[in-house]
């Protein structure tokens, strides 16, 4: 179910770092290519943890550097720094590669892509928010590779980098994911990163439910991440909403990382959910 409503914007004390404009709009100034939707997403740099691992994978990564803790304090909890929490989580490897064809990644059946606008598994909003040094710096990270699109981004340095993906392809639109089992991600990464599930009403800030995505050493892999509540933990303070309420108003999967990392996304499926095309 898609819900569109006025977004309750949370003002950031440090607009540049939190991804808010001076007016409190949670979308930073970076543009998106034509057809990919309006504006790029503010995420309010937020901690994340994706308990990714290998075959049986229990990948709870404890993030706990003193510098990360200091960053969290400086940003008033808005940064996803490592201190303070374990990113529990379990992930299972589905296959070791991505299938060819439109949306047929990781052995999943093909999915019809959106026509007239770039999309990856029908998701059109893959955005570099401008938080942290990335390539591209802002805007869409979708790029054509062969006859389909992939999403590519390079994180530079140890500051936090933020890549939101709107699950309903529009800021403010949400999906009820309460019946979903989880997400299947086909990707490659040269370092660990994280993903948060953010709701509409608690979009900004670092106190988000998250799970850790393991490095693949640059190799393409497909992994499943369950929506079991035990697998999603905040790296900072307790999230404002319950996990059940967050699933009910899921607005974005926000990928974050604080290390140099070359990441390529080949597929992202949310069980039981088909994103609407713009």
Q: Determine, yes or no, domain membership for 226.
A: yes
Q: Determine, yes or no, domain membership for 94.
A: yes
Q: How far apart are CA 185 and CA 265, in angstroms?
A: 8
Contact between 86 and 210 under an 8 Å Cβ cutoff? The reply is no
Helix, strand or coil for residue 20? coil
Is 60 exceeded by the pLDDT of residue 273?
yes
Helix or strand holding residue 63 (H, E) = strand 61-63
Helix or strand holding residue 198 (H, E) = strand 193-199
Reported as a single tens digit per residue, the pLDDT across 99-108 is: 333 445 567 8
Q: What is the mean pLDDT of residues 50-54?
A: 34
Reported as a single tens digit per residue, the pLDDT across 213-239 is: 999 999 999 999 999 999 999 878 899
Q: What is the pLDDT of residue 271?
A: 97
In the chain, how many domains are there? Answer: 1
Is 50 exceeded by the pLDDT of residue 98?
no
Reported as a single tens digit per residue, the pLDDT across 243-265 is: 999 999 999 999 999 999 999 99
Q: Determine, yes or no, domain membership for 165.
A: yes
Q: Determine, yes or no, domain membership for 219.
A: yes
Q: Determine, yes or no, domain membership for 166.
A: yes
Per the prediction, the chain carries an average pLDDT of 73
* Domain of 255, in residue numbers: 44-270
Q: Determine, yes or no, domain membership for 7.
A: no
* CATH code of the domain containing 138: 2.60.120.430
Q: What is the mean pLDDT of residues 18-33?
A: 32
Measured in degrees and rounded to the nearest 5, phi and psi for residue 14 equal -120, 90
Q: Tell me how far CA of residue 118 lies from CA of 5, 27, 101, 115, in angstroms.
A: 25, 20, 15, 8
Q: How far apart are CA 100 and CA 200, in angstroms?
A: 34
Is 90 exceeded by the pLDDT of residue 67?
no
Is 50 exceeded by the pLDDT of residue 269?
yes
Is 90 exceeded by the pLDDT of residue 54?
no
Q: What is the mean pLDDT of residues 130-142?
A: 97
Q: Determine, yes or no, domain membership for 215.
A: yes
In sequence order, the β-bridge partners of residue 150 are 143
Contact between 172 and 257 under an 8 Å Cβ cutoff? The reply is no
Q: What is the pLDDT of residue 105?
A: 58
Q: Determine, yes or no, domain membership for 13.
A: no
């Amino acid at each position: 179910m898609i819900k569109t409503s006025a977004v309750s914007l949370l003002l950031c004390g440090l607009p540049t770092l939190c991804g808010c404009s001076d007016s409190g709009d949670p979308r930073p100034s970076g543009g998106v290519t034509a057809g990919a939707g309006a504006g790029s997403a503010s995420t309010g740099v937020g901690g994340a943890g994706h308990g990714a691992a290998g075959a049986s994978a229990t990948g709870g990564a404890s993030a706990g550097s003193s510098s990360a803790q200091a960053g969290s304090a400086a940003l008033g909890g808005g940064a996803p720094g490592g201190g303070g929490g374990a990113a529990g989580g379990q992930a299972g490897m589905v296959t070791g590669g991505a299938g060819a064809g439109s949306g047929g990644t990781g052995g999943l059946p093909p999915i019809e892509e959106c026509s007239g606008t770039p999309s990856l598994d029908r998701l059109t909003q893959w955005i570099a928010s401008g938080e942290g040094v990335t390539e591209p710096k802002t805007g869409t990270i979708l790029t054509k590779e062969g006859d389909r699109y992939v999403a590519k981004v390079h994180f530079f340095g140890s500051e936090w980098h933020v890549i939101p993906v709107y699950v309903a392809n529009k800021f403010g639109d949400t999906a009820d994911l309460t019946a979903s089992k989880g997400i299947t991600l086909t990707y490659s990464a040269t370092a660990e990163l994280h993903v948060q599930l953010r709701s509409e009403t608690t979009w900004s800030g670092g106190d988000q439910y998250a799970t850790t995505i393991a490095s693949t050493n640059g190799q393409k892999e497909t992994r499943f991440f369950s929506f079991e509540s035990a697998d999603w933990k905040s790296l900072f303070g307790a999230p404002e909403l319950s996990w059940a309420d967050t699933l009910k108003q899921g607005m974005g999967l926000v990928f974050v990382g604080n290390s140099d990392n070359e990441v390529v996304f080949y597929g992202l499926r949310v069980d039981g959910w088909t994103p609407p095309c713009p």
